[in-house]
Amino acid sequence: MSDTAATLTQDRQKLEMSALSAPAVIFTVGMIAFPVVYTIWLGFQNFSSTGKQSFAGLANYSKLVSDVEFWHGLWVTIALYVLSLVLQLVFGVWLALVLFHAKRLPGIVRSLFISPFMMPPVVAGMMWLVILDPSLGAANYILQSLGLPPSDWLASPTWVIPTVALIDSWQWTPYVALIVLGGLQSLPSSVYEAAQIDGASAFKTFQRITLPLLLPTIVTAAILRSVDLLRFFDIIYITTQGGPGNASNTLNIYGFRVGFEFFNIGYASALMLTLTAIVFGAVLAFNRLRGAVAW
């Protein structure tokens, strides 16, 4: 077969393969693109309380600027995000180190350590709602048994964000630990052997070797958790519905209420697209950081 004929056959095969895979590709792209395009379109519409629709231009976005609830929601979202992420990364790394070094830990105990994140968030929310109930819950019973004053937990405007962050961290720290554990297991042993020969202490080894080498893995975990944390919804919806007052009203909760309780789908779409932009921004920032710490 001449070269020209072989090239023509290859081109034909490529064309056939493209044609065969086209329906699946079009369907997948459509499934991803349609909701996004539709939400962008909704963001330019105005829906009255009675569902009547009209073109709003950028009115929904300009309304964001003067909406006190939006800025409050943004603050709550960021506060919850930062607090939860720090807790989950710190305790996730610690738990991973424990699991890595405690090689004789029975499998059942290891499974128990990582089980919370396998629980549906709604179940976790309901469980903590009962535990943290100021009157009937076990948390205050334990505090009082120890001679400590009871807390209002989720009912306190001051403590609601730390409490929600604790619940989320209880659930998702094991997930971070699993990722970090994978990273720990892939670290080169030669570096540790060299450190041991040089007489480095355990702390110095962790500070100068383990942590720098683990950073790309930790940043990956941070990216994965950032996407979830900035879209924080389920646990708050179950436990506080954004309260007390508006103390835990994240952007996602606020957008949900505007859309599905007050039926202002246009403004809710603008809110959610803004939140999506924030999530993208955080992911991009972490991606750059990952590039900087890669080894």
Residue 136 binds other proteins, judged by CB under 8 A: yes
Residue 134 binds other proteins, judged by CB under 8 A: yes
**What is the smallest separation between the CB atom of 104 and other proteins, expressed in angstroms?**
43
Alpha carbon distance 66, 200 (integer Å): 57
Q: Which is nearer to other proteins, 59 or 152 (CB)?
A: 152
**What is the smallest separation between the CB atom of 237 and other proteins, expressed in angstroms?**
9
Residue 261 binds other proteins, judged by CB under 8 A: yes
The correct pick among 63, 78, 127, 133 for binding other proteins (CB under 8 A) is 133
Alpha carbon distance 68, 254 (integer Å): 12
Here the tokens at position 25 are 């590709």
Alpha carbon distance 254, 246 (integer Å): 9
Residue 185 binds other proteins, judged by CB under 8 A: no
Here the tokens at position 221 are 């975990």
List beta partners, residue 53. 47
Give the per-residue contact string, 43-82, with other proteins (x = CB under 8 A; - = no).
Answer: -----xxxxx------------------------------
Q: Which is nearer to other proteins, 89 or 270 (CB)?
A: 270
Residue 162 binds other proteins, judged by CB under 8 A: no
The correct pick among 75, 127, 152, 166 for binding other proteins (CB under 8 A) is 152
- Binding-residue total with other proteins (CB under 8 A): 29
Residue 38 binds other proteins, judged by CB under 8 A: no
* Interface ranges with other proteins (CB under 8 A): 48-52, 133-136, 150, 152-157, 239-246, 260-263, 265
